[in-house]
A and B are shown apart, each in its own frame.
Chain A
Amino acid sequence: MEHIGLLDIHHLSAKYPHGREVLHDISLHLHEGEIICIIGESGSGKTTLLNAILGMPGKVEITQGKIIFAGKDLCTLKGEELRSIRGRGIGMIYQEPGAALNPIRKIGSQFYDTMRAHLKISRKEAERKALELLARLELPEPERVLKSCPVQLSGGMNQRVAIALAMALEPALLLADEPTSALDVTVQAQIVEELLKLRKEYGKTLVVVTHNMGVVAKMADKVSVMYGGRIVEYGYRENILKAPAHPYTRALLAAVPKLDGTPPQAIPGQRPSHFPGVGCAFANRCPYAHQDCTSREMLPISLGGEHWALCDAGFEGSVD
């Protein structure tokens, strides 16, 4: 039970403020230098999980469980303590590169603002550090970038600036919410390379929320598949991509378009707007469902090593 990694989430449940439950019994364990990808459709709770880790007030209310980051339970921290962890301990990269940046303030000033909020630092020092980061991420013409405003840069450039900005305070853990979805395919590949470089050169730990299987194949060590506010399957990349067990994981993989011209397979039915407390949330769309799927309690089934799923109806054997 007691994992001591960089980030340990134990049996976390959460609800929207004044609303329904959105996360149910989530457990995750991340060691330093690992990359975990969280996949699933919109509405499955991926982004809410990131918001819970960051302790965003007004977005999510934790009802049960613990989030242990570097030995501290984030759920019990308040005010100043929590603020010092956001940014310095945990950095965040958003889907829309614009979301983290002021569109009409010079990038250099924004680096200074961010660093000044947490460190005693002079403007010169801050810009020198920003320059170094941008150069390290191999942005062309870093001096010009620092003097530009986000509106003068392309989406891809802004996303790389946002990554550099999240890195400015050297957080041990980086959360990335769909970091490539708003970008072109060629730029997507660059961003993935850059995130991989963060791990290689700085030993960063990453939690990447994505629905792009290409991103998973390229960078994940571990993958957790979310549906209806639960983790329905968890394992190493090969486990999930090569030997998926949960019917939802299989359906999700089949929905990805391939280059050979085979049409993507749609998952029949609609995502329910309300997820049941008991039983399997995927049961109404599942080709393997029996009658008791909607009533029995879903418990993790071990599939060898760290690979487990809440249901193994689609499992055809392990890869190793």
Chain B
Amino acid sequence: MAGVLEVKHVYKTFVAGKTRIEAVRNVSLTIEEGEAVGLVGESGCGKSTLAKLITRLETCDSGQILLCGEDLTRLSGSALRRAYRNLKMIFQQPRSSFDPRLSIGASIGETLKVAGMARKERYGEIERLLRMVGLDASYAKAKPMELSGGECQRAAIARAIAAKPRLLICDECTSALDVSVQAQIMDLLRQLRRHQDMSFLFISHDLALVSSFCDRVYVMKDGTIVEDGNTLQVINDPQHNYTKSLLASVLPA
């Protein structure tokens, strides 16, 4: 069965002078239709590099990345751009992902324009998207700097889902937010999961947060996947020592 995303035996090595860093070593993972999959590990373990490989901000040395059945590592030009409509990403710092001089509405409108929507329809759609993520339609005129971190992340989500992607990559998307705002954003993602036909790759270092959102989880260390499985199973019965130490360092609340 073809998943939304299949990563097969991917390698990536960075070379700086005489040092070679094997950032991603033989990583394989799959995300099925409608699934939310977690990717955890500490900084430097390669999880963000993996996200960059999937979004082609970096190219992999070897291996395959299939998005909806198409091998992204072989596509280029307009074929690649077309394939990438199925994939959107939201980041830790939402403000830095917006053009500071464009209004929120204009930023979302750009995505809609690229997706081929006529100008007349765009205004209504921007308002609909903003309302969907819990923002007032008047936010379309606001600049990113005028929004709080939580509001800005909502706007980033609105822009991401504007193109109706099949897969949304969330890279530490709540780490910069307060716990109560984090809970609001998680509520929103959960809502989107119910009502939109979308899969999630949820990158985080917070196992507790992952446990509340993801069906399955991959644990990454030093560039390789050391453990994967059903989220609660992994948390309640970790097999790998690294997973155990990661769980032990979660401060009890």
A contacts, CB < 8 Å to B: 41-42, 155, 184-189, 192, 211-218, 251-253, 255-267
Contacts and interface: CB of A to CB of B under 8 A. Distances in A.
B183 interface: yes
Given A213-B179, A217-B252, A255-B179, 6 more contacts: A214-B253, A255-B183, A257-B179, A259-B207, A260-B232, A263-B212
B182 A184 contact: no
Contacts of A259: 207-208, 211, 235, 247, 250
Contacts of A266: 180, 183-184, 186-187
B66 interface: no
Contact of A255 (B180, B205, B246): B180
A11 B188 CA distance: 40
Contact of B180 (A188, A251, A263): A251
Contact of A252 (B179, B206, B232): B179
Contacts of A256: 179, 208, 253
A241 to B, nearest CB: 8
A258 B250 CA distance: 10
A261 B211 contact: yes
B53 to A, nearest CB: 21
B231 A185 contact: no
Contacts of B190: 263
Contact of A42 (B178, B184, B213, B250): B178
B43 interface: yes
Nearest to B175: A181
Interface string B209-253: 101110000000000000000011001000000000111011111
Q: Which 9 A-B pairs have the closest CB atoms?
A: A214-B251, A266-B183, A264-B183, A257-B208, A213-B253, A189-B249, A266-B184, A255-B183, A184-B42
11 contacts: A41-B180, A189-B249, A211-B179, A213-B179, A214-B250, A257-B183, A257-B208, A261-B231, A263-B187, A263-B213, A266-B187
A235 to B, nearest CB: 17
A129 B10 CA distance: 48
Contact of A264 (B179, B246, B250): B179
B29 interface: no
A253 to B, nearest CB: 8
Given A256-B179, A267-B183, A186 B249 contact: yes
A261 B232 contact: yes
Contacts of A187: 42
B181 interface: yes
Nearest to A214: B251
B160 to A, nearest CB: 20
A185 B212 contact: no
A185 B186 contact: no
Contacts of B208: 256-259
Interface in B98-157: 149
A121 to B, nearest CB: 36
Nearest to A219: B251
Given A185-B249, A214-B250, A258 B178 contact: no
A46 B74 CA distance: 52
Contact of B212 (A184, A211, A251, A262): A262
Nearest to A218: B251
A260 B245 CA distance: 17
B162 to A, nearest CB: 23
Nearest to B208: A257
Contact of A263 (B181, B186, B207, B245): B186
Given A188-B251, A192-B251, A259-B250, A41 B181 contact: yes
Nearest to B186: A264
A194 to B, nearest CB: 14
Contacts of B253: 213-214, 216-217, 253, 256, 258
A267 B186 CA distance: 12
B246 A186 contact: yes
B205 A185 contact: yes
